[in-house]
Amino acid sequence: MTYSQTYELSISKASELIRNKKLSPVDLLEDHIKRVEAKDQHLNSFITRTFDEAMNQARICEQEITAGNWKGPLHGIPLAVKDLFYTKDIVTTIGSQKYKSFIPTFNATVVDKLEHAGAVMMGKLNMHELAFGTTGKNSVFGDCHNPWNTMKITGGSSSGSAAAVSGGLCMGSLGTDTGGSIRIPAGLCGIVGLKPTFGRVSRKGVFPLSNSLDTVGPMARTVKDAQIMLSAIAGVDAKDKHNSPRENDDLQMNSEVDLKTVKIAIPTDYFFDVISDDVNNSIDNAITVFQELGASVDQVNLPVLNHSLAISSTILMAEASNIHKQNLKGNPHQIGPDVRIRLQQGAMILATDYLEAQRARQKFNLEVRSILDEYDVILSPTVAVTAPDILEETISVKKESQSVGALMPRLTRPQNITGLPTISIPCGFDDEHMPIGFQLTAPGFQESKLIQIGSAYEAEAGWLHHKPKI
């Protein structure tokens, strides 16, 4: 198998070849290292490369597999993680000058779980500073660039995680999602991004942004790959007070779903009010695919969605400013101006406003979940537009000027308010061949439903033959 082929493999396919001793973990890693060295100058997806350590891991994996000790589908697979996951003795910058020399003394729980599963860790990935932004621009480590067009943004905050997977620099990555930070870059970069149910995955050793909104999830090229990664990282962790006591046995399922039994809800008012024609057309095409596969699709009314940005912004900004209050008091100019301003604005939010937002959140959640009492999933666009140019601060949508930073999370924040699992799946392109994605949201802890329905769509749509320009 040649170098040009291996980086295009899915995790599931590479795992099959490794298990059958037809692909060497060492060779696979070497090919990905070559890919990083050749292409990351254009993408800027890595902050820290740990190739020497990764090669040692790959050699151990090869020895274990040769001896018949195959650990599972991540054994020997080259992955990387967003640079806010603690990695023992490896610098963890959180994308900020403030933490440029921070070296944790332990691994995040999810990093330990990936290593226990036999994954090979290639390094730490670029991100919007402090995970508090949606474009992927970073004044300290440089902006991340989209593999489909390097003049375009990746989206954020898990920018490097999306760019590296989309560009074939690693086979999967971990991101975090507080207001869409997994799904936005996944949608803009043409990969799968899965935000699990709040509490499904441990956040121990993950630098926080918002205690009541943060989630950890996989980013991969296929739905199956996302399932493989989620199965490895989910589960009980007594060290995380927000972690659910629920085991992850349900994530191991491989059964297919009969889409003729599936009911899909489309809240048309909020999710389709401010989107580009290209996005609208691609979502319509995805809906048609589901209908042709036999799914029932209904339009529903969810007026409460109009309150989602106000609820999310108040909670997020207040909690983020509280987490970073010492940084604001100490040397705030070590934080980039865009993030610093948001943190300062959050510090001015009154406690009464925060409590009112949390009360509104409860009502919001009840109304959204009432829809999911009748339907299996809610379908919506992931991002209102395709990736803007890196230099663009505003973008025209339906002849109205919109702030890029505000527009990116408009359609992803509702799912963080509810804490419900949501997956972003590629579904089309605009006229410039930039990717478009849609979201599926399911009831709590029903990630398996997302995986089944998403896999059925993916198999029919045949997305994987599309490759970025990089």
Residues 6+ apart with CB under 8 A from 395: 385, 388, 401, 402, 404, 407
Q: What kind and span of H or E run contains 252?
A: none
Name the CA radius of gyration of the chain, rounded: 21
Question: Nearest-CA neighbor of 28 among 61, 96, 77?
Answer: 77
Catalytic residue among 181, 276, 308, 380: 181
Length of the chain in terms of residues written: 470
Question: Nearest-CA neighbor of 218 among 316, 94, 73, 320?
Answer: 73
State whether residue 435 is helix, strand or coil: strand
Residues 6+ apart with CB under 8 A from 377: 262, 264, 265, 440, 441, 442, 449, 450, 453
Q: Tell me the torsion sign for CA atoms 344, 348, 353, 354.
A: positive
Residue appearing with tokens 């802890």: 445
Please tell me the distance from the alpha carbon of residue 311 to that of residue 360, in angstroms, as a whole number: 7
Tokens of 348: 């001015």
Catalytic residue among 157, 276, 282, 313: 157
Residue type, position 260, single letter: K
Catalytic residue among 15, 39, 82, 282: 82
Question: Is residue 82 flagged as an active site residue?
Answer: yes
State whether residue 70 is helix, strand or coil: coil
Question: Is residue 181 flagged as an active site residue?
Answer: yes
Active site residues: 82, 157, 181
